[in-house]
Homo-oligomer: A and B are copies of this chain.
């Protein structure tokens, strides 16, 4: 979507770095070409791998992540970001030279420029669209219905992996506090989308266990995004002061609570405005105004804009326009969130996990530990469920395991903030992939009628 006039307009500005390149004929055209080619490559690979994943019943987020790894510096070298290093694939540059008729130097510069300016920016739009739609899909009424049962599961599933992960990283592996906290935070996530899909597939979405899982996953999203907002603010200031942590936690919780409590006020304000309007574009535009207002408010009190995007989604998800809004934002999610996940994959330096190199072994051990903590923490959380009836607590725990796209948000933001080392970043991604792959399988087994686990649980 990003070829065109923008490039030309940018170069009418007096940016010294670019002025030199600008005088070269064909630079504008090369940027347009690079954008068109890069976007087409991302989408083609995402379509092919997405199809393979869909056929095997795997979540499509894995397809996009794998697309990124394949296209990134580790394998094909078609998506190279300056922060992750490496050279762009020679064939790609040659193709760009051929199609736009420019020199190799111009083609290379144009390629770099569009990667930093347009592809990265699209990834960030994808992140916001993802958090807004996550909020939209998080049904607060469902949450309130199973609230008390789900609350202990969600709280245990956030506190246990976070504490365990952070402590193990600091005490055993000697990781510095802030990156350790960040990795710990990534362990708290639960991907509601992946679990809901598996539960639906096996017809257990409406079961007691299914409802507790979904309720806990929604609460988990809320807690996770609060944790993320707090951790990101810590990264920015670079200090871990008890007072500022308290302030951040309090303001993040207050922000979400105000959004949830004033939900009816905001929601009915939104509905009454839209009901009076006959312009078909108004719903989309007003939703964006809401999103912007919430993001600005979050930012004004020292939190992250993404927390505002999520809260706006939560509020609008309770109105009668929920379905329509999901439909309107879906194309943005298809396009921009694909780019977001692909860029996360592309920025992972897989070579740091090559076991043949001795220095890498610690990274691999860290990855294994994170996976173990990720699974253990959520399984224990399942047993924390409050219920008078006999329920399948193991299934609840398994249902909370997949980190999916929410875990990737942590990994992506951690890498972008520069706080995670390459090996810790790669270890988090491996943890996300492993939990996302293993959870649907475990969930199916634990729910299968004849399973020994199930029988044992129900008795």
Contact = CB atoms under 8 A, between A and B. Distances in A.
Given A332-B331, A335-B284, A5 B295 contact: no
> Binding site of A, secondary structure by majority: helix, strand, loop or mixed?
helix
Interface in A308-357: 327-332, 334-335, 338
Contacts of A125: 1-2, 4, 6
A10 to B, nearest CB: 7
Given A13-B116, A299-B33, A305-B4, A285 B331 contact: no
B292 A39 contact: yes
A288 interface: yes
Contacts of A456: none
Nearest to A99: B300
B43 A288 contact: yes
A279 interface: yes
A36 interface: yes
A358 interface: no
Given A1-B128, A60-B279, A288-B43, A13 B54 contact: no
A13 B82 contact: yes
Interface string A30-48: 0011001101100110110
Nearest to A18: B15
A121 interface: yes
A12 to B, nearest CB: 7
A326 to B, nearest CB: 11
B1 A305 contact: no
B281 A334 contact: yes
A121 B2 CA distance: 8
Contact of A335 (B46, B100, B288, B306): B288
A281 B338 contact: yes
A252 interface: no
Nearest to A293: B40
Nearest to A306: B4
Interface string A273-305: 000111111101110110111011001100001
A2 to B, nearest CB: 7
Contact of A292 (B36, B299, B328): B36
A37 B296 contact: yes
Given A99-B296, A125-B1, A305-B3, A331 B36 contact: no
A282 B47 contact: yes
A35 to B, nearest CB: 8
Contact of A331 (B18, B46, B291, B331): B331
B120 A36 contact: no
Given A6-B124, A278-B54, A16 B17 contact: yes
Contact of A120 (B6, B15, B32, B43): B6
A54 B276 CA distance: 12
22 contacts: A1-B129, A1-B291, A3-B295, A4-B306, A9-B83, A9-B416, A10-B120, A13-B82, A15-B15, A15-B17, A29-B299, A33-B296, A36-B293, A40-B296, A43-B288, A43-B289, A47-B277, A47-B279, A47-B282, A51-B279, A285-B334, A327-B327
Given A3-B295, A51-B276, A51-B282, 5 more contacts: A9-B124, A39-B288, A46-B281, A288-B335, A332-B332
